[in-house]
Chain A
Amino acid sequence: MSRISSRFGEIIEKGKKAFIPYIMAGDPDISRTKKVIGILEDCGADIIELGVPFSDPLADGPVIQKAGQRALEQGVRLRSVIELVAEVRKTTSIPIILMTYYNPVFKYGEEKFVHDATTAGVDGLIAPDMLPEEAGSLVRFAKKSGLDTIFLLAPTSTEDRIRKVSKAASGFVYYVSITGITGAKLSMDHAIASHISKIREISGKPVAVGFGISTPEEASKVSMLADGVIVGSAIVKRVTDSDEELRKYLLALRKAIG
């Protein structure tokens, strides 16, 4: 069983919910990212999503776009993020997911990427522009090496779509809470709850919800419905705050998620 699946297993068994923070690797620089990974773990993160900077981040709002731009200016690329994971792996066993766009993986070479990433200690991959229909070879390589492939579903996803994604997905399913981009305003309507249970039922996998969650109150509401809560832009905004401020915010999220 993958590190992500077993973590979810433990959490669900205890009746708890997963806290999944996202940060952009290399923003503002690699050494801060290393330090923040430690802080996230200290503050009760269950899984860490590590963003890989990309020139054209289609699914991201202004906060993560700018963070990626800063990281690119630092010279951070997919290969350096993999190296970073190899280094932090020496001191932590927390599951780490890379969130990248597909083209850097394609250019790196799918097989080589899966090999290098899993060797470094990466546990999962999210590429928001990767469709299950087109991901056949990547999913095969990933399965062989034990890398989880996490796909996105949205409020507009049909049942047929949910089935397709469920088949290709491993680890958990990422439910995008809104039609929109990262960092947008959360709006929770009645449909979310029924959509999430339907996804859980069809996929048989844990469902984590992300996009637009920024306050502990929002995180708490989402955690009532989902198996995990993903917080990105709101944390990325605070990465350069003092350690004390950052910890305070993360602990509040952790407490709210339960």
Chain B
Amino acid sequence: MLKKDKDFKEELLLLRKTYVGRPTPLYFAKRLTDRLGGAKIYLKREDLAHTGAHKINNALGQALLAKRMGKKRLIAETGAGQHGVATATGAALTGLDCEIYMGTEDIARQSLNVFRMKLLGAKVNAVDAGSRTLKDAINEALRDWTTNVQTTHYVMGTVFGPHPFPAMVRDFQAVIGREAKRQILKSEGRLPDYLIACVGGGSNSIGLFNDFLRENVKMIGVEAGGRGIETGEHAARFAGGSIGVFQGCKSYLLQDDDGNILGTHSVSAGLDYASVGPEHSFLMESGRVVYTYASDDEALAAFELLAETEGIIPALESAHALAETLKLAPGLSKDNIIIVNLSGRGDKDVQHVARIKGIEL
């Protein structure tokens, strides 16, 4: 098995170090901590990984895997564009062809990433079906894969889809938590009290949580509350969904009474998805992880606050995790420690945020 293949592991390890820039720093956000006046806040800086988000951890691993399997072509879906960029990068690095599927709604709000993918040599296919977002891009990628399975590897971008994707993507992302654990032990001499991460499909959160699941550490996953659960315009599968079977796995799902999949809304394209990784459903039902949500407005406020206080522009996805931190930290004592997964950087969102604020760039 590849998981135990020494050559594969060494190749991946070397590229993580020399190409991705791992380990990513665990940064103590002093000014944000002082501003909130409660728990110490650390940021796991996945935004500093090559291509600007945690997505490269998985895309690189799967690109190497595809190469080993003798595949000639990579395909992937993307919402925010980060996974598309990461896959296009992995394809360029390994010399494989690459096609990315992306909903037209997401193409409009993430045009910068679309251009980046093209620069990296990938073809971007616009998906104009359904809600024109991530789930529709996944449908189209799965259709492509069904057709071209002999030559093509589908780089699923999150801990979702048919087996073995949820487990494989988790294993590639678990490096986040392994590093964070080592780093916090070094800087604080103890484990944190809380981990907080945003949950779209759920790969950055599983990546952070995985190594802490057996430790005495509280964990919070933050979904997209959009315009509010009561409006129906959100992507909070735990708060507003029920169990279903979709795109190859059984999990919580936003669906109507007849089992059709509902449209979703989030200010962040990466969280705008109707279902969630099945392992998250398990962690929710077992009570090991608590899931909550942040609204568009809360995420936008957190986005601006981090930029002002720390000089870091977070991805809108990660801003959801920060929004929960803003609620939680002030009520905790100064001895408490929170690690927030800063899963991506916000450059891709700058134009979109300006548009929301009515600013012409």
Residues on A lying within 8 angstroms of B by beta carbon are: 54-56, 58-59, 61, 65, 72, 77-79, 102-108, 129, 156, 178-181, 184
User: Chain A nearest CB: distance from B133 CB in Å?
Assistant: 12
Is residue B255 contacting chain A, with contact meaning CB distance below 8 A? yes
A130–chain B nearest beta-carbon distance, Å:
9
Which residues on B sit within 8 Å (CB–CB) of A56? 130, 135-136, 139, 246-247, 260-261
Expressed in whole angstroms, the Cα–Cα distance for A258 and B148 within the complex equals 32
Q: Are A107 and B258 within 8 A (Cβ)? A: yes
Chief secondary structure at chain B's binding surface: mixed
Instruction: Check if B146 sits within 8 Å of A181, measured CB to CB.
Output: yes
A90 to chain B, nearest CB (A): 25
Cross-chain contact B130 with A129 (CB below 8 angstroms): no
Interface residues of B (CB under 8 A from A): 129-130, 135-136, 139, 142-143, 146-150, 244-248, 253, 255, 257-261
User: Which residue on chain B has the smallest CB distance to residue A54?
Assistant: B260
Interface contact B150-A103, CB-CB below 8 Å = no
A103 CB contact (under 8 Å) in B130, B136, B244: B244
> Can you list 17 A-B contacts (CB < 8 A)?
A56-B130, A56-B247, A56-B260, A56-B261, A58-B142, A59-B143, A72-B260, A77-B260, A78-B258, A103-B246, A104-B258, A106-B244, A107-B255, A107-B257, A179-B147, A180-B143, A180-B147
- What number of residue pairs across chains A and B have CB atoms under 8 A from each other? 67
Beyond the given pairs A106-B259, A179-B147, 7 more chain A to chain B contacts, judged by CB atoms under 8 angstroms and listed by A's residue number, are: A55-B260, A56-B247, A56-B260, A58-B142, A61-B143, A103-B261, A108-B258
Among A65, A79, A107, A181, contact of B129 (Cβ-Cβ < 8 Å): A65
- Chain B's nearest CB lies how many Å from the CB of A148? 21
Q: In the docked arrangement, what's the CA distance between A156 and B146, Å?
A: 10
Contacts of A58 in B (CB 8 A): 139, 142-143, 247
Taking CB atoms, residues of chain A closer than 8 Å to B146 are: 59, 179-181
Q: A180 — which chain B residues lie within 8 A by C-beta?
A: 143, 146-147
Return B148 CB to nearest CB of chain A, in Å. 7
Closest to A106 in B: B245
Are B261 and A102 touching (Cβ within 8 A)? no
**Measured CA separation A105–B244 after assembly (Å):** 10
Report yes or no: B259 in contact with A103, Cβ–Cβ below 8 A. yes
- Sorted from nearest, which 6 A-B pairs have the closest CB atoms? A107-B259, A104-B259, A55-B260, A180-B147, A77-B258, A103-B259
> Could you tell me the distance in whole angstroms from the C-beta of B144 to the nearest C-beta in chain A?
9
Q: How far is the CB of B273 from chain A (nearest CB, A)?
A: 12
Given A180-B147, A181-B146: A107 touches B130 (CB 8 Å cut-off)? no
Residue of chain A at shortest CB distance from B143 = A181
In the complex, which residue of chain A has the Cβ closest to the Cβ of B262? A55
Q: Which residues of A contact B136 (CB under 8 A)?
A: 56
Most central of B135, B149, B245, B253 by chain A CB within 10 Å: B245
Q: How far is the CA of A204 from the CA of B287 in the complex (A)?
A: 48
Q: Which of A65, A102, A156 contacts B245 (CB 8 A)?
A: A102
Which residue of chain B is the closest to A178 with respect to CB atoms? B147
Query: How many angstroms between the C-alpha atoms of A135 and B259 in the bound complex?
Result: 17
Bound Cα distance A102, B259 (Å): 9
Which residue of the partner chain A has the closest CB to B257? A107
Question: What residues of B have a CB within 8 angstroms of the CB of A178 in the complex?
Answer: 147
Residues of A contacting B255 with CB < 8 Å?
103, 107
Q: How far is the CA of A247 from the CA of B57 in the complex (A)?
A: 56
For B135, the chain A residues whose CB sits under 8 A away are: 56
How far in angstroms is the closest Cβ of chain B from A70? Answer: 13
**Chain A residues, CB < 8 A from B143:** 58-59, 61, 180-181
Complex CA distance for A178 and B150, rounded to whole angstroms: 12
Interface centre among B129, B146, B149, B255 (most CB of A within 10 A): B146
B311 → A minimal CB distance (Å): 42
Q: How far is the CB of A54 from chain B (nearest CB, A)?
A: 6
Instruction: Kindly state the separation between the CA atoms of A113 and B282 in the bound complex, as whole angstroms.
Output: 27
A103–B149 Cα distance when bound, in Å, is: 24
Complex: chain B residue closest to A79, CB-CB: B258
**For residue A107, which residue of chain B has the nearest CB?**
B259
A103 close to B147 (CB less than 8 A): no
Q: What is the distance, in angstroms, from A60's C-beta to the closest C-beta of chain B?
A: 8
**CA gap between A177 and B136 in the complex, in Å:** 25
Report A-chain residues with C-beta under 8 Å of the C-beta of B261. Answer: 55-56, 103
Q: Give the contacting residue for A179; candidates B149, B247, B259; CB below 8 A.
A: B149
Q: Cβ of A104 and Cβ of B260 under 8 Å apart? A: yes
Give the nearest-CB partner of A61 in chain B: B143
Residues of A within 8 A of B245 (CB): 102-103, 106, 129
